[in-house]
């Protein structure tokens, strides 16, 4: 390719990228219906920025790299920002964050610099104006210079003060503009999705097409804020974090950013409690690493950390580019949502016969790994989401959570697309009929001899949540089953080295290791054994309660429904399921195989902690400073207590952290259940009493 042809190709690509970015800006900001994920959008902008850096002659005045992302639209009246609302440059990894730190140091001539780290809330930027302490206007960012007037909608946010009351130290300024992020909590988003899906179920029953269901809290929050009817916005339960000052007249002088945040808090504005002032870039790295790991402990979505120079005079020295401040950067976490093509929908059969549809995807890197399959939950969910083979879909993988298809991108649906039909027969060789009772969401294969159910029961038994048999994965279970070595979980303990050596992939060492692993599982605690048996409705918490109450498997097997149901956290449904399971002849045979193999039927682990909370139920909601959610629940259980997921009249106390679930707090207030902060929680752990 000649130099002229190459330059022409690069110029065409730059033009194509600008058009693509503008198109996706409109879909994201104006219509709240994005066609690509944030990560894919960022990649387009980064590619354009690289081309423009290497070929400055191709830069245009209206390039998206020189303007703020959002446009100015016509749904609401325009608002001119007194102080422009700029965008932020992104750092995608620690190297880019380090490079930003070096640019800051160079811009300050090597002067010492401190920083403020803020969680990057995945919401919609807003500017809220007060005059003489009264809220007079709220506007979206728009193109940074002109936004949209959404005052009536923002005024519905419960945590936003409508009038300001100053103090002797901090009187109310004549004019005060506060910048922040409007967002929808995960709990509010789940309620909205449930409402939309219920509405779609009604529409389907009436023969009408489904309405669009929001795919994530950010889009749901943005769409809610831009409703023409403020009453709809009020029903959506939006929230707000404030993080910056805009125009201020008659206010105090500040030298540091963290002082402005304290000022905002003193006036009653919600300021995120996780914001930290730190002294070095090393501290910034540590903050970013911490929240990359802990992001799922929060009751709202974040997609990174915003890092700002703390000293306001140093900010003036550093200044701005055409679109962003040089004194701040957004450190982006790895994306947890990506768009890809749904190639096919298939059905898997679980240990209880449940038929679960799953998506076969064009492989996509999301949530730290490459995903090629994702759950679709059940028949009703496929219909409600209306996902179809050939669709471009939003795939989400958060941490260790199983990847799921959130929904389709309807604007990219192929024209001849047809709704997917759930199969009528099991995919196993027996081809038995799949059944869906009218009162249940799940479709099931009810053929007891279904080989898929058999294999899944064995896989569940060996899993980490069950007997934790290392080395006994799906492939090995399938191979043992196909070879006729195992027909149920009891057969596992009688598998021989010679049998394993007949299977592909096994040598003497690997075979002996698996036999040893199976043997060591004989001494797993009773709660693990109960969970491993795969009894319908019986999960780890109820298994632990039964083991603690009855001490041995034989006593549980012979207990009456009434005795089983009386155990805290069990109830009638689980009791009936447990009782029915132990009465079946095939399950009695499995128990006898396990007994003959020497599996321990009565080992219950005891905590060394004092049992200060024995028999007490403690609910945890919100984020605690010194405990993860799992850590808090483990601390309760280690002291003999229980940590259910909901508040009831039997609840001893509710531990309330930052951003608690509104429904749990409301229920505790209605029932008069005591609510504790973290200090009170630690007192209760130590003494078993309320402070």
Cite the active site residues: 120
Strand, helix or coil at 90?
A: strand
* Cβ–Cβ < 8 Å for 138, 81: no
Alpha-carbon torsion (155, 156, 157, 160), positive or negative: positive
Q: In what order do the strands lie in the sheet with 302-309?
A: 90-91, 328-332, 302-309, 115-121, 276-278
* Count of residues in the chain: 691
Pairwise CA distance, residues 291 & 278, whole Å: 15
> Rounded to an integer, what distance in angstroms lies between the CA atom of residue 308 and that of residue 296?
23
Cβ-based neighbours of 462, under 8 Å, separated by 6 or more = 468, 469, 472, 473, 477, 492, 521, 532
CA angle centred on 419, ends 413 and 420, rounded to 5°: 115
Query: Is 658 exposed, middle or buried, given 0-12, 13-18 or 19+ CB atoms closer than 10 A?
Result: middle
- For residue 362, give Cα distances in angstroms to 419, 670, 678: 19, 49, 45
Q: What is the DSSP string of 546-598?
A: HHHHH-SHHHHHH--HHHHHTSTTTHHHHHHHHHHHHHSHHHHHHHHHHHHTT
DSSP string over 446-511? --TT-HHHHHHHHHHHHSTTTT--TT--HHHHHHHHHTTS-SSGGGGGG--HHHHHTSTT--HHHH
Distance CA 169, CA 571 (A): 57
Q: Which two tokens stand for residue 332?
A: 């982006």
d(CA 375, CA 394): 12
Calpha distance 622→231 (Å, rounded): 27
- Residue identified by tokens 């110029």 is 11
**Are the C-beta atoms of residues 91 and 330 closer than 8 Å to each other?**
yes
The DSSP symbol for 256 reads B
3-state secondary structure of 427: coil
What gap in Å lies between CA 487 and CA 454, rounded to an integer?
Answer: 7
- φ, ψ of residue 422 to 5 degrees: the values are -70, 135
Using DSSP, state whether 623 is helix, strand or coil: strand
User: Exposed/middle/buried for 598, CB within 10 Å: 0-12, 13-18, 19+?
Assistant: exposed
20 near 44, Cβ under 8 Å? yes
- How crowded is the C-beta side of 440, counted as CA atoms within 13 Å? 8
User: What percent of the residues of the chain are helix, what percent strand, and what percent coil, each to the nearest 5?
Assistant: 40, 20, 40
Q: How far apart are CA 287 and CA 304, in angstroms?
A: 11
Contacts made by residues 412-416, CB under 8 angstroms, sequence distance 24+ = 412/35, 413/388, 414/390
């Amino acid at each position: 390719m000649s130099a002229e042809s190459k330059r022409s190709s690069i110029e065409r690509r730059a033009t194509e990228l600008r058009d693509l970015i503008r198109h996706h800006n409109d879909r994201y900001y104006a219509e709240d219906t994005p066609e690509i994920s944030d990560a894919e959008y960022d990649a387009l902008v980064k590619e354009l920025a690289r081309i423009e850096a290497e070929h400055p002659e191709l830069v245009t005045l209206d390039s998206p790299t020189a303007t703020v992302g959002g446009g100015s639209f016509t749904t609401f009246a325009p608002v001119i920002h007194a102080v422009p609302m700029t965008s932020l440059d992104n750092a995608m990894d620690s190297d880019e964050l380090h490079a930003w730190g070096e640019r800051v140091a160079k811009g300050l001539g090597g002067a010492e610099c401190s920083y403020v780290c803020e969680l990057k809330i995945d919401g919609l930027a807003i500017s809220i104006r007060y005059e003489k302490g009264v809220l007079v206007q709220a506007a979206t960012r728009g193109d940074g210079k002109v936004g949209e007037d959404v005052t009536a909608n923002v005024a519905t946010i419960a945590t936003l003060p409508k009038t300001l009351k100053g103090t002797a130290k901090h009187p109310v300024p004549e004019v005060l503009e506060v910048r922040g992020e409007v967002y929808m909590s995960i709990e509010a988003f789940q309620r909205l999705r449930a409402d939309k899906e219920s509405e779609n179920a009604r529409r389907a029953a009436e023969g009408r097409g489904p309405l669009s269901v929001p795919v994530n809290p950010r889009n749901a929050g943005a769409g809610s804020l831009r409703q023409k009817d403020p009453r709809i916005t009020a029903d959506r339960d939006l929230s707000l974090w404030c993080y910056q000052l805009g125009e201020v007249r008659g206010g105090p002088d500040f030298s540091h950013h963290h002082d402005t945040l304290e000022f905002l808090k003193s006036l009653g504005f919600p300021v995120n409690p996780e914001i930290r002032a730190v002294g070095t870039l090393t501290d910034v790295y540590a903050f970013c690493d911490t929240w990359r790991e802990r992001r799922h402990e929060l009751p709202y979505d974040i997609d990174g950390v915003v890092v700002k120079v703390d000293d306001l005079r140093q900010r003036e020295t550093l200044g701005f580019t055409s679109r962003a401040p040089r004194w701040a950067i957004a450190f982006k976490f790895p994306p947890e949502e990506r768009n890809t093509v749904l190639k096919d929908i298939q059905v898997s059969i679980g240990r209880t016969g449940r038929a679960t549809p799953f998506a076969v995807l064009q492989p996509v890197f999301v949530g730290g790994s490459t995903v090629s399959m994702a759950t679709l939950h059940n028949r009703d969910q496929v219909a409600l989401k209306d996902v179809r083979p050939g669709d471009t879909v939003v795939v989400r993988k958060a941490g260790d959570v199983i990847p799921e298809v959130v929904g389709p991108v309807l604007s990219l649906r192929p024209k001849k697309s047809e709704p997917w039909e759930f199969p009528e027969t099991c995919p196993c060789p027996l081809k038995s009929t799949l059944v869906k009772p009218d009162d249940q969401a799940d479709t099931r294969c009810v053929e007891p001899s279904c080989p898929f159910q058999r294999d899944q029961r064995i896989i569940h038994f060996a899993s980490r949540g069950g007997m934790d048999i290392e080395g006994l994965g799906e492939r090995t279970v399938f191979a043992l089953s196909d070879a006729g070595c195992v027909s149920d979980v009891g057969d596992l303990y009688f598998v021989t080295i010679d049998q394993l050596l007949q299977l592909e992939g096994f040598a003497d060492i690997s075979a002996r290791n698996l036999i040893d692993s199976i043997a060591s599982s004989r001494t797993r605690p009773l709660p693990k054994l109960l969970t491993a048996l795969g009894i319908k409705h019986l999960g780890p918490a109820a298994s632990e309660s039964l083991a603690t109450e009855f001490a041995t498997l034989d006593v549980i097997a012979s207990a009456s429904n009434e005795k089983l149901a009386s155990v805290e956290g069990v109830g009638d449904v689980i009791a009936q399921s447990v009782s029915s399971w132990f009465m079946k002849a095939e399950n009695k045979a499995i128990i006898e195989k396990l007994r003959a193999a020497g599996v321990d039927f009565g080992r219950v682990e005891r905590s060394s902690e004092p049992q200060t909370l024995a028999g007490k139920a403690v609910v945890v909601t919100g984020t605690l400073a010194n405990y993860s959610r799992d850590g808090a629940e483990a601390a309760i259980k280690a002291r003999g207590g229980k940590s259910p997921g909901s508040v009831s009249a039997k609840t001893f106390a509710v531990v309330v952290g930052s951003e608690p679930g509104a429904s749990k707090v409301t229920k505790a207030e209605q029932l008069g259940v005591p609510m504790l902060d973290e200090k009170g929680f630690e007192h209760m752990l130590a003494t078993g009493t309320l402070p």
